[in-house]
Structure 1
């Protein structure tokens, strides 16, 4: 076989090999790439509102707002999260935080904010005068929401706004001046996340209430005063 025949045979072999390679379908994604894409519209909404803020001076309200931001930042920081990376609305005398479930497990939400705020409020009491003391109402809901124009849109935003204004929630602070935090969760949040009992704050610490605010009427779940101490590891979780 002469050199030209060898060269022609080599050329035909390379062409055949390349056609074979093109016919083979190789995996285009790793197992991680094939994992389900999280729904980035599913959020927990945490709304906190300062009780009695209208009775303070302008200087007092400014200090209250700084402390409120510190409390929210501290609750997230205890879990290694940065407040600056979350969507946050300032409501004037409160804050509304959007927590996407692809970043935080649903079962961590109540623990993170109830226990985190309790720890922060205890610290705030150590340096604040009685006039500067913060007492909060907190409402937590979940559902599909999304950005819209200059804000957000979704049914959970309406629900959580009504929950934080609920009379049963206000009564908790009225009836016990020693309490710093009153908490209510929506029926959806309780049934889907709290009742299974995977968190530090136990489901039996909540009691059902009927919330009627304006045209809104629904069942919700009120955290019984001092019920957060029913769980054995609450102190460690909040520390």
Structure 2
């Protein structure tokens, strides 16, 4: 099973539907370009990633052994820089803002792509209302990054590779049978200036009644789109159609 552990990530364009058809074509091309460029500038081989493009978003499973520190550090830094450079040359209506979700865990090849908790977690984090609100609340931000609690505890909290825990804010994501903590960062934005309509209950504070107490539920529940707890293959969400052993393109 350890051989199935991978870093999974997904990037999604905010308010993609506001673009007209030529604008959508441009946005898709630029998203693909920026994701490749950020990987290459970080020393990562994007050509070895199993990638599933889906119009306004891209889901990827990275090769075993990819450095979590590099993905959360250099890759995020260069992606923010690529976005900043692109937006600096565009009119306000043409600018792009992205949400990026990252988790590390089991992602096993399945008939329609990948199965396992990590692909499901990435999908839930990416579409969490808390993450969307974080990006919307920070008008100067071009990128909102949300990572799993596992990555935060293993990499960020211990300050590996120069990571700064003070740049992250905790959220609680509860969607489609999935429930877990995540951590949001807005690169280039001081957390103190970002506003906090999306922040989770502070450490030591009371948790809202809708959230179960620790130990009463698992960190996530793996379900299909019909709500049945089965293998956890995502159909019609983010991971179907990935070609086993290939890039999915």
Q: Residues of 1 paired with 2:43 and 2:78: CA distance?
A: 12
Q: Residues of 1 paired with 2:107 and 2:67: CA distance?
A: 17
Residues 223 and 93 of structure 1: CA distance in aligned 2, closer, same or farther (over 3 Å) = same
2:9 to 46, 51, 57: 46
Q: Residues of 2 paired with 1:117 and 1:76: CA distance?
A: 8
2:243 equivalent in structure 1: none
Answer 1 or 2: which has greater helix percent: 1
Residues 124 and 225 of structure 1: CA distance in aligned 2, closer, same or farther (over 3 Å) = closer
* Higher RCO (CA 8 Å, separation ≥ 6 residues): 2
3-state secondary structure, aligned to 2:94: coil
Gaps of 5+ in 2: 192-249
What root-mean-square deviation, in Å, do the aligned CA atoms of Structure 1 and Structure 2 show? 2.2
Q: Does 1:173 align with 2:135?
A: yes
2:167 to 205, 213, 216: 205
Residues 227 and 135 of structure 1: CA distance in aligned 2, closer, same or farther (over 3 Å) = closer
Bigger CA radius of gyration: 1
Gaps of 5+ in 1: 1-37, 230-239
Q: Does 1:126 align with 2:95?
A: no
Q: Residues of 1 paired with 2:9 and 2:140: CA distance?
A: 23
Q: Residues of 1 paired with 2:147 and 2:41: CA distance?
A: 22
Q: Residues of 1 paired with 2:75 and 2:3: CA distance?
A: 21
Q: Residues of 1 paired with 2:59 and 2:101: CA distance?
A: 10
How far 1:199 moved relative to its partner? Answer: 2.4
Q: Residues of 2 paired with 1:39 and 1:228: CA distance?
A: 37
1:214 to 176, 193, 198: 176
User: Normalising to structure 2: TM-score of the pair?
Assistant: 0.71
How far 1:130 moved relative to its partner? Answer: 2.1
3-state secondary structure, aligned to 1:69: helix
Within 5 Å, which residues of 2 pair with 1:82-121? 82-102=45-65, 104-121=66-83
Contact 2:135–2:186 (Cα < 8 Å) also in 1: no
How far 1:131 moved relative to its partner? Answer: 2.3
Structure 1 consecutive aligned stretches of length 4 or more whose deviation exceeds 6 Å: none
Count of residues in Structure 1 that have an aligned counterpart in Structure 2: 192
Contact 2:5–2:104 (Cα < 8 Å) also in 1: yes
2:29 to 43, 56, 66: 66
Contact 2:140–2:189 (Cα < 8 Å) also in 1: no
How far 1:210 moved relative to its partner? Answer: 0.9
How far 1:204 moved relative to its partner? Answer: 2.2
Q: Residues of 2 paired with 1:101 and 1:107: CA distance?
A: 14
1:160 to 122, 126, 140: 122
